[in-house]
Amino acid sequence: MKTYKVVKGPMGFTVDRGNSESAFKGFEEIINRETDGGWTYHSMETIEVEEKQGCFSQPKKTFFYMLIFEKDE
């Protein structure tokens, strides 16, 4: 049987011109950290979350990256 773990991925990248590779570093660090802990990378999904701002405000939509890992029990 497998156990799954979901880790929030990094958001909001700003990179210097010609340095787009640095945007991937946050994902790499998370994947390396989790695999060092015995987890195996499974996949990445994007989810949309609507957060209520108040009584008279429209909900704010935010997109999150979820990195999914698995491990045999």
**pLDDT tens sequence across 25-49:** 889 999 999 999 999 999 999 999 9
Between 20 and 7, the more confident residue is 7
- Name the DSSP class of 17: T
- Name the DSSP class of 12: -
This prediction's pTM: 0.78
Per the structure, the complete domain to which residue 44 belongs is given by 2-72
Who contacts 23 (Cβ-Cβ below 8 Å, separation ≥6)? Answer: 13, 15
Mean pLDDT along residues 2-29: 86
Domain count of the fold of the chain: 1
pLDDT given at position 20: 79
